[in-house]
Amino acid sequence: MNILLWVLQILLALYYAMGGSWMVSKAPGAWLKLLPKPAWVALGALQILFALGLVLPGMIGMPKLTPIAAVGVAVETLLVAVLTKPKFQGLLWVVIPALLAAFVAYGRMG
C-alpha cells in the first residue's frame, strides 16, 4: 500500500505542478475570465505548493503534512472546476485527480 501511495503522490505532484505552473505563467484565456489574472496566479502558486506538499514532507521526515496537502489540492481542484464549469471530458481531468488526492489523504492519515 505504501508503494501505491508513493506512486500516486509523485504522479499527482507532477500533474498539479505542471497545471500550477501553467496557471502562473500563461495569461488566462477567454474561459478563464471569471477571475482576474492575479487570482489565477495565486491559485496556480497554491497548486504548486500543494504539489510540493504531496512529496517533500514524506522525504524530509514530516509525513503528517502530506494529508493536508492532498486535501488542499483536492479542494482547490474542485473549486476551480466549479468556477470554470468544464464539459464532461474536462470534468474527468478534474474529478479523477481530486479523488486520487483524497485517496492519498485517507491513506496517509493512518
User: What pLDDT, in 10s, does the model give residues 26-58?
Assistant: 766 655 677 788 888 898 899 999 999 999 998
Count the Cβ atoms, other than its own, within 10 Å of residue 41.
Answer: 17
pTM of the model: 0.88
Count the Cβ atoms, other than its own, within 10 Å of residue 4.
Answer: 11
Q: Which three cell numbers stand for residue 51?
A: 504539489
Q: What is the pLDDT of residues 47-98, one digit of tens each?
A: 999 999 999 998 898 889 999 999 999 999 888 888 777 777 778 888 999 9
DSSP summary character for residue 86: -
Backbone angles phi, psi at 87, to 5 degrees: -75, 175
- High-pLDDT (> 90) share of the chain, %: 54
Buried b (16+ CB within 10 A) or exposed e, 77-91: bbebbeeeebeeeee
Helix then strand then coil, % of the chain, to nearest 5: 85, 0, 15
pLDDT the model gives residue 104: 96
The separation between the first and the last C-alpha atoms of the chain, rounded to the nearest angstrom, is: 12
| Distance separating alpha carbons of residues 105 and 110, to the nearest angstrom | 9
Calculate ∠ Cα 44-8-55, nearest 5°.
60
